[in-house]
A = this chain, B = another copy of it.
Amino acid sequence: MDFAYHYTAAQETFRQEVKAWLAEHVPSHIKAPVDSEFMRGDLYDFALELRRKLGHKGWLAPTLPTAYGGGGLSVELAVIIEEELRRRKIPTVFSNPLVIPAILVWGTEEQKKKFLPGILHGEKICYQNFTEPQAGSDLANVQSRAVNLGDEWVINGQKIFVSGGGPGKADWLFGPIMTDPDAPRHRNLGYFMIPATTQGITLTPLDLMNGRNQYIVMMEDAHVPADHLIGGDHQGWQVAQTVLEQEHGGGGQPHLIDQDLDNFIEFVGNASRDGRPMSEDPLVQQQVAECYIDSHASGLFSMRNHWLYHSKSELTYEGSQSSLQRKLFGLRNADRMRAVMGPYCLLGIDEQRAPFGGAPEVFQRSSLVRTHPGGTIEVQKVIIARRLGISKTRESAAPTPQTAGRKNGSP
């Protein structure tokens, strides 16, 4: 076994190129904000422009074919790019990448040519248009309607908890809409790329615990061209499954990184209590170690999935296992950090006494909020049980760009 990437000299040379490029294009004072809620104004514009530059270099989707706007690079080089981007903490504009596998697996060649380059070049920003007031965990219960007028579809309905920078910033809203109310569940949806600027589309921010970066999307008589339907007009659920397969952790991550953990360890290293270094407090030591272990074990699940994905292995429960653990350990670690840091981890980004510019407080909220999107804890458990073969329903993984056309049969 080998739990690490090893790079050739040529690959290390490539790393230097990436570093140099970043040094040239990102002034040293520019950094991702502690709270993504505050990705606004000049910083947003800078990040958007940087995204375009990265996209045109093929570095937004390094392993995808250049024909679609990818980089055509090896996994190792992709990992190097990721490492350097992260190291540099560059601010990133949120665009949901899960649109990509859906188009790759289910789109026609024309659709791939039409949609992918704009997205992969960083020109287009995509929001996931999935959840509805009556379709949360029960995503198949989508009620918004698309009516076929031949050349186009007319869409009406409401989406909620749509993440992104907000009105005027999105280009595409992608997700399932009901095309056939008479068809059975799971066979009654289409999957649409809706231009966000379409007349009849409005975004209204929600007032959430994690800020105002999630929206209600109202769709009122929104006309969408016919070729914006990805997959057949009764295959929307199946297309969504490909997306969810990735969102549920199926792609994995090659690294074990956890900034919140690193902050915590540093906090403990500097703090004192009752006149003694906190790092010598046996209870604190246990909490630190538990945070590390939980984060590390969850990271290994993710690394395993990355390896399975890139070695084109068929996953069963592993994606959801990783996603579930990520959600759960986030809650546990937030709890442990509260136990050690006390009220310090409730101090916000504007508070001068807040450690790490308020990052621990952001984590206190985000770890709770993150349990819902991308499949709730319950949804992940349902999927795991099915794939362990103990549930009433048995299922195998949906096709992904790595497995489509292989033993699963083509979509």
Residues on the B chain within 8 Å of A134, using CB = none
Residues on the B chain within 8 Å of A286, using CB = 283
A342 contacts the other chain (Cβ, under 8 Å)? Answer: no
Task: Give 1 or 0 for each of A157-197: 1 = CB within 8 Å of chain B CB.
Answer: 00000000000000000000000000000000000000000
The docked-state distance in angstroms from the alpha carbon of A281 to that of B285 is 13
A282 contacts the other chain (Cβ, under 8 Å)? Answer: yes
The smallest beta-carbon distance between A336 and chain B, in angstroms, is 13
The docked-state distance in angstroms from the alpha carbon of A281 to that of B286 is 13
The docked-state distance in angstroms from the alpha carbon of A286 to that of B281 is 13
What is the number of residues of chain A that contact chain B, defined by CB distance less than 8 Å?
A: 4
The docked-state distance in angstroms from the alpha carbon of A283 to that of B290 is 14
Task: Give 1 or 0 for each of A254-294: 1 = CB within 8 Å of chain B CB.
Answer: 00000000000000000000000000011100100000000
The docked-state distance in angstroms from the alpha carbon of A305 to that of B286 is 37
Residues on the B chain within 8 Å of A282, using CB = 281-283
Most B CB within 10 A of own CB, among A281, A282, A286:
A282
Residues on the B chain within 8 Å of A281, using CB = 282
The docked-state distance in angstroms from the alpha carbon of A383 to that of B282 is 41
The docked-state distance in angstroms from the alpha carbon of A347 to that of B288 is 32
The smallest beta-carbon distance between A274 and chain B, in angstroms, is 12
Closest to A283 in B: B282
The smallest beta-carbon distance between A385 and chain B, in angstroms, is 16
Closest to A284 in B: B282
The docked-state distance in angstroms from the alpha carbon of A282 to that of B280 is 12
The smallest beta-carbon distance between A62 and chain B, in angstroms, is 47
The smallest beta-carbon distance between A53 and chain B, in angstroms, is 52
Find residues 56-83 in chain A having any chain B CB closer than 8 Å to their own CB.
none
Residues on the B chain within 8 Å of A283, using CB = 282-283, 286
The docked-state distance in angstroms from the alpha carbon of A282 to that of B278 is 14
The smallest beta-carbon distance between A264 and chain B, in angstroms, is 19
The docked-state distance in angstroms from the alpha carbon of A286 to that of B282 is 11
Find residues 357-394 in chain A having any chain B CB closer than 8 Å to their own CB.
none
Closest to A282 in B: B282
Find residues 283-324 in chain A having any chain B CB closer than 8 Å to their own CB.
283, 286
Closest to A286 in B: B283
The smallest beta-carbon distance between A34 and chain B, in angstroms, is 32
The smallest beta-carbon distance between A270 and chain B, in angstroms, is 21
The docked-state distance in angstroms from the alpha carbon of A287 to that of B282 is 13
The docked-state distance in angstroms from the alpha carbon of A283 to that of B281 is 10
The docked-state distance in angstroms from the alpha carbon of A281 to that of B281 is 11
The docked-state distance in angstroms from the alpha carbon of A282 to that of B281 is 9
The docked-state distance in angstroms from the alpha carbon of A80 to that of B282 is 44
The smallest beta-carbon distance between A45 and chain B, in angstroms, is 49
Q: What would 5 A/B residue contacts be, using CB atoms closer than 8 Å?
A: A281-B282, A282-B282, A282-B283, A283-B283, A283-B286
A-B pairs, 5 with minimum CB distance: A282-B282, A282-B283, A283-B286, A283-B283, A281-B282
